[in-house]
Structure 1
Amino acid sequence: MTELEILSWNVNGLRAILKKGFVDFMQEKNPDILCLQETRASEEQLPPEIMTSWGYHVYFASGEKKGYSGVAILSKVKPLSVARGFGIPEFDREGRVLIADYGAFVLLNIYFPNGKASPERLAYKMRFYNAFLEYADRLKAQGRKIVVCGDVNTAHKEIDIARPRENSKISGFLPVERAWMDKLIAHGYVDTFRLFNDQPGQYTFWDTVTRARERNVGWRIDYFFVSENLKEQLKAAFIMTEIMGSDHCPIGIRLDA
């Protein structure tokens, strides 16, 4: 087995973060696999030398709407296959899902929807949650080992949000969303960070308008989950709060695979 470091980061615009230290981040951290969310760019919109000079295989899923959503995987190890989406048009057209099969495990890089805009978007988010869980459960039923990472857009428990009471009626911390997170864990997926850290004040997203990061008034809405059958191979899980450039910070795991 070799140890892999997998990082995940909602970059809030890949073209924007290229101007905010992303190149330095890549050269310093040099992860085996990097999963990005909210890229808001297609592959042809990026300087080609940026992606090719680091020696990564690069995969994109972009939404039909320009400058919206989007995910990417940069991987030193070439996956056996990469799929874009669950095969469900209402979700796939937003470019939120990349599924990379590495043989030893299947990696799902997902930018889950935000439900704040309207009741319709909250309903869409919950349908997406359920479609994802059905897809992951089918893989698990085949005996596959699963890694899920990305911006889940929900803080699971009160420990995962700086101001739980004030946000209890806001999408991202609604009872229905949190209950779905309970369901995810009940289905045999492990919140990797909480295996290693049970402390409060551990967040991955901060509102930029209110300069919340300076006061650490944040939300932990970015996660790595692994299926129970992969838990013993998990060596570390961490949040990289020192990395700037987005309203989210990167998170990561180290895994024997």
Structure 2
Amino acid sequence: MLQSLKLGLYNFIHPNSVGVILRKPKFQVLASVNFTIMGSKNRPFSRLSAVAKSNEPMSVAVEKGVSKENGDKEILVEDMETVEKMTVPQLRVKLRSLGIPSRGTKQELVASLTTFLNSKLNDVGNGAVAREDQVSSDKSLGVADNTSKRKARKVSSNQSDVAASEVSSTRQTKKRVKKDNTKDTSVDIIVKQAEITQELSAESNDIKGKKTVRAKRKVSAATASAHIEVSEGVDISVNQDEPWTIFAHKKPKDGWIVYNPKTMRPPPLSKDTKHVKLLSWNVNGLRALLKLKNLLIQQLADREDFDVLCLQETKLQDKDVEAIKESLSGYENSFWTCSVAKLGYSGTAIISRIKPLSVRYGLGIPDHDTEGRLVTVEFDNFYLLCGYVPNSGDGLRRLTYRITEWDPSLSNYMKELEKSKPVVLTGDLNCAHEEIDIYNPAGNKRSAGFTDEERQSFETNFLNKGFVDTFRKQHPGVVGYTYWGYRHGGRKTNKGWRLDYFLVSEHIADNVHDSYILPDVDGSDHSPIGLILKL
């Protein structure tokens, strides 16, 4: 028995590629999955007697004599019995050759391969497999155009296309289980060649029960079924066009849902309801943004029809401001402050179609006003502050300055203004206040923007002083981000932070009609946020 298990890797057969059409919103992707059938030295492909000699190049090996369903069933059953005897390396090779992810423990690998064979066994039992006597190895499959809306051409029964069963998977890591509905993705496999009887070979490499190979990364799966991953070059995410709807939070609580402006924004106010529409955006460099062909500030104005736009991190110098002003038609009132401590750094601005009553720059404290971090305008009904709070920086070198000097000074300034009118503070406040505001809270405990000190300072100096986080008030259990780092492509996977806010005086909080995020607007590592305030 042991001798029969020591099977070599012989008689490699390379059939034609298998076309895999991945069902995605709006377009299809055709991937190619090549697989190799391994034969055994001691147990050759006896059922493939009609195949040419093993040293001949072959396109497809199909035994004409094996045409009955009972014979195919018997072969697949024997294959399934062989799976348990395969080693981890052999399982990985086989799964990779079939286009199935090959990471995980031996039990998981066996389960994945067994699932695949079960699907084939079911197809055989149902008479779903149509066989061809000969298929050329040079015959290629048509590739569907991603942008085409043409329906896939129907293939006649004579062409023997095979519609295989759908497979889905949910991937969960051992360190942290991710419950993500977007991981369950169906794929339809169309095989434009004969089904090939697969003989699985295995060799026992275990010595006294000790495994010779350990998986570098163990993956525990709730469902051990085959799937194709983005990391393998095929993106099958159902959220590809709206990545902000991916629930990527690593430690979600019951009841949390992901933010989707299409479904969560209230109906527009009636025309006779007096209100003001404010937008705020950290543009991460305004000159670069204005050079983009498809995302000019003017285009954003045309689309959103805002009354006031607040900008942070403009990175302009005083000499650049006049040229920028000329490109903003329809918004004649604009007020800019630039960093003089470090040129081309920081900078804030307020651009308005409403002429303000007064304008102030900075906090009025020289130590805080050299980096262009604050502009204040006064309107009839409220003060509007556009702020860019200092980042604590690498190594948290500015943490002490931020929590002991800047935050208290800004808070006191706001409370002083509030004595005469309500206050609205907006901008990049560089703090993810709660765990719901950051996708990976456990991994960022000492990261700038999520330290306990910054979060406590945010609460002490602003929320406890009577200023309301309007987005969180409107959406108490909603995961919505405004910032995604460039380094790891966070926007595509929705691994973000909520750093941008509209804080308002408590007694006008109920006048907020909508506090929202515009995650579909790119051009920066931040997205714009908006506030509609009834007057």
Point out where structure 1 has 5 or more consecutive residues left out of the alignment.
none
Specify which of 410, 427, 434 is matched with residue 150 of structure 1: 427
Shift of 1:47: 4.1
Instruction: Tell me, in whole angstroms, the C-alpha distance in 2 between the residues paired with 1:241 and 1:119.
Output: 28
**After superposition, what is the alpha-carbon deviation per residue over 1:34-82, rounded to whole angstroms, capped at 9, x for unaligned?**
000000113541344312x223311001110211000000011111010
Normalising by structure 2, report the TM-score: 0.46
> Which deviates more from structure 2 when the two are superposed, residues 58-67 or residues 15-24?
15-24
The corresponding residue for 1:68 is: 345
> Which deviates more from structure 2 when the two are superposed, residues 27-36 or residues 40-49?
40-49
Instruction: Give yes or no for the alignment of 1:6 onto 2:245.
Output: no
**After superposition, what is the alpha-carbon deviation per residue over 1:5-26, rounded to whole angstroms, capped at 9, x for unaligned?**
0000000001011123123212
The corresponding residue for 2:533 is: 255
Instruction: Tell me, in whole angstroms, the C-alpha distance in 1 between the residues paired with 2:291 and 2:481.
Output: 24
Please give the residue correspondences for 1:178-197 in structure 2 after superposition, counting only pairs within 5 Å: 178-183=455-460, 184-197=462-475
Instruction: Tell me, in whole angstroms, the C-alpha distance in 2 between the residues paired with 1:166 and 1:222.
Output: 21
Instruction: Tell me, in whole angstroms, the C-alpha distance in 1 between the residues paired with 2:529 and 2:350.
Output: 14
Instruction: Give yes or no for the alignment of 1:228 onto 2:500.
Output: no
- Between the aligned residues of both structures, percent identity stands at 38
Instruction: Tell me, in whole angstroms, the C-alpha distance in 2 between the residues paired with 1:243 and 1:98.
Output: 24
Shift of 1:232: 2.4
C-alpha spacing 1:119/1:161, structure 2 compared with 1 (3 Å): closer
Please give the residue correspondences for 1:49-128 in structure 2 after superposition, counting only pairs within 5 Å: 49-51=326-328, 53-64=329-340, 65-126=342-403, 127-128=405-406
The corresponding residue for 2:495 is: 217
Is the partner of 1:87 in helix, strand or coil? coil
Instruction: Tell me, in whole angstroms, the C-alpha distance in 2 between the residues paired with 1:236 and 1:48.
Output: 29
The corresponding residue for 1:198 is: 476
Return the letter of the residue paired with 1:80: L
C-alpha spacing 1:193/1:34, structure 2 compared with 1 (3 Å): same
Normalising by structure 1, report the TM-score: 0.95
CA contact (8 A) 1:160 1:200 kept: no
Instruction: Tell me, in whole angstroms, the C-alpha distance in 2 between the residues paired with 1:5 and 1:98.
Output: 18
How many pairs were matched up? 255
The corresponding residue for 1:176 is: 453
CA contact (8 A) 1:156 1:173 kept: yes
> Which deviates more from structure 2 when the two are superposed, residues 154-163 or residues 119-128?
119-128
CA contact (8 A) 1:193 1:237 kept: yes
> Which deviates more from structure 2 when the two are superposed, residues 80-89 or residues 53-62?
53-62
CA contact (8 A) 2:331 2:351 kept: no
Is the partner of 1:63 in helix, strand or coil? coil
CA contact (8 A) 2:311 2:350 kept: yes
Q: CA RMSD in A?
A: 1.4
Specify which of 417, 425, 444 is matched with residue 167 of structure 1: 444
**After superposition, what is the alpha-carbon deviation per residue over 1:189-219, rounded to whole angstroms, capped at 9, x for unaligned?**
0000012212443000000111010000000
CA contact (8 A) 1:206 1:217 kept: yes
Return the letter of the residue paired with 2:327: I
Instruction: Tell me, in whole angstroms, the C-alpha distance in 1 between the residues paired with 2:503 and 2:464.
Output: 12
Shift of 1:143: 4.0
**After superposition, what is the alpha-carbon deviation per residue over 1:67-126, rounded to whole angstroms, capped at 9, x for unaligned?**
100000001111101000011112101000001011310011000000023444112222
Return the letter of the residue paired with 2:305: N
Greater relative contact order (Cα < 8 A, sep 6+): 1
Instruction: Tell me, in whole angstroms, the C-alpha distance in 1 between the residues paired with 2:412 and 2:361.
Output: 16
Shift of 1:233: 1.7
Max radius of gyration: which structure?
A: 2
Instruction: Tell me, in whole angstroms, the C-alpha distance in 1 between the residues paired with 2:331 and 2:381.
Output: 22
Instruction: Tell me, in whole angstroms, the C-alpha distance in 1 between the residues paired with 2:406 and 2:311.
Output: 19
Instruction: Tell me, in whole angstroms, the C-alpha distance in 1 between the residues paired with 2:344 and 2:472.
Output: 33
Please give the residue correspondences for 1:9-48 in structure 2 after superposition, counting only pairs within 5 Å: 9-20=281-292, 21-22=295-296, 23-42=298-317, 44-45=319-320, 46-48=323-325
> Which deviates more from structure 2 when the two are superposed, residues 159-168 or residues 22-31?
22-31
Instruction: Tell me, in whole angstroms, the C-alpha distance in 1 between the residues paired with 2:332 and 2:424.
Output: 19
Instruction: Tell me, in whole angstroms, the C-alpha distance in 1 between the residues paired with 2:458 and 2:399.
Output: 15
Is the partner of 2:453 in helix, strand or coil? helix
Point out where structure 2 has 5 or more consecutive residues left out of the alignment.
1-272
Is the partner of 1:128 in helix, strand or coil? helix
